[in-house]
Amino acid sequence: MDWPYLTAVAWPLFVALALGMLVHLGLHAVARRARAHAATRRRARMVGVVAKPLAVALPLAFLWMAVSATPLAESTIDRIEHWLGVGILLCGTWLLVRAVDAVEARILREHPVDIEDNLAARRVQTQTRVVAGVVQGAIVLVGVALALMTFPAIRQVGATLLASAGIVGLVAGIAARPVFGNLIAGLQIALTQPIRLDDVVIVDGEWGRIEEITSAYVVVRIWDERRLVVPLQWFVENPFQNWTRTSAQLLGTTFLWLDYRTPMADVRAELQRICEGDPRWDRRVCVAQVTDTTERTIEVRLLVSARNSGDLFDLRCAVREGMVAYLDAHRPEALPRMRAELSREREGEPSPGRAHSAPPGHTGSPGAEDGGAERIATPPGAT
């Protein structure tokens, strides 16, 4: 054992590891303290963003300097420094991703959506989330590509692929079509904004709200708490309903089928009373109209308005229940019913409508010139 050689190699590495461990633990303690004050102090948030990547990058840098001070073989030092350099490069990529995430968090914090009029905030949040996701994906892609290009074997593979760029480009384009399609769709959604966070949409017949927009898909929270995951490209290529595109205000209808004797003036007065007594009505529209008739009933449409889709649904239910209860209690003649007119003929006095009717079982028309006696149909089963 060459103890002087081992000592010369181990001593710089031991010092670098000890110093790196102290720096690592110290930066983690700083990050924890900054996280405790992140809600109120901007400087604490900045320290929290930088601390964790530095807690890994600085020990790697200390090892880099220590390895170069050891009497190891030149090839061994080059290989170790290469791997340490890749680690430092990935830490820099991590730092940039965290910086973008911090900027995104600040913008979202300054534009909350839990307010009454959140249209502008939802627009800003949607653009911020989509653009931040695209930028972070590009940073990771470039960082990993730079790290891989430091390996000579991979560089040679790249040169070989460039020699057959036509075929490779075609295959890569076909393989990456969904990825790039969603990426371009994400940019289109961020710029044109057909959907935003918390928008109320109808997708494939499902009613829900936009819960999350990523760089590849959109999560729609269905009313019964299911989650519908839809690729971004679908919203660019297919029609869908957006109930909160420009405003959350909506009109809703409730239909009743009533009797012809329904007093519409009373129905309108009762509808107005129900709407004015309900805080979900936004005082814009409250109309009752006869929109159709059948041979038995009339179709009455009760049109009301509300501030958002949730209030509108509840208001429509309240209007339907209140109107049915009012008609049943005060205007029972307005409820639909089946009519039948019955009359009893006096014995020997046929009704005017049956003065010339044929006796039961007769198959010929009245007064037919059949040239013979009346033909009586034989009842089924008679002998």
Q: Residue 230's beta-bridge partner residues?
A: 218
Distance CA 319, CA 306 (A): 12
* Domain C-terminal end among 244, 273, 292: 244
Is 218 found in the same domain as 277? no
CB 96 within 8 Å of CB 102: no
**109-113, 163-167, 265-269, 343-347 — most confident range:** 265-269
**What's the total number of domains in the chain?**
3
Going by pLDDT thresholds of 50, 70 and 90, the confidence category of residue 134 is: confident
pLDDT tens digits, 49-66: 888 888 888 888 888 888
* Domain C-terminal end among 191, 218, 244: 244
pLDDT for 378 equals 39
- Is 370 inside any structural domain? no
Q: Residue 117 is which amino acid?
A: D
Q: Is the pLDDT of residue 320 over 70?
A: yes
The CATH number of the domain holding residue 166 is 2.30.30.60
Map residue 204 onto helix, strand or coil: coil
| pTM of the predicted model over 0.85 | no
The torsion angle over the Cα atoms of residues 48, 53, 54 and 57, rounded to 10 degrees, is: 180
Q: What does DSSP say about strands 206-213 and 200-203: parallel, antiparallel, or unpaired?
A: antiparallel
Q: How far apart are the first and last CA of the chain?
A: 129
- Is 376 inside any structural domain? no
| Residue at token pair 């409730």 | 254
Taking residue 367's Cβ as centre, other Cβ atoms within 10 Å add up to: 8
Kindly state the percentage of the chain with pLDDT values over 90: 21
Say which residue, 45 or 327, is predicted with more confidence.
327
Say which residue, 241 or 366, is predicted with more confidence.
241
- Count of positions (residues) in the chain: 383
Token digits of residue 244: 């909160």
**Mean predicted lDDT score pLDDT of the chain:** 78
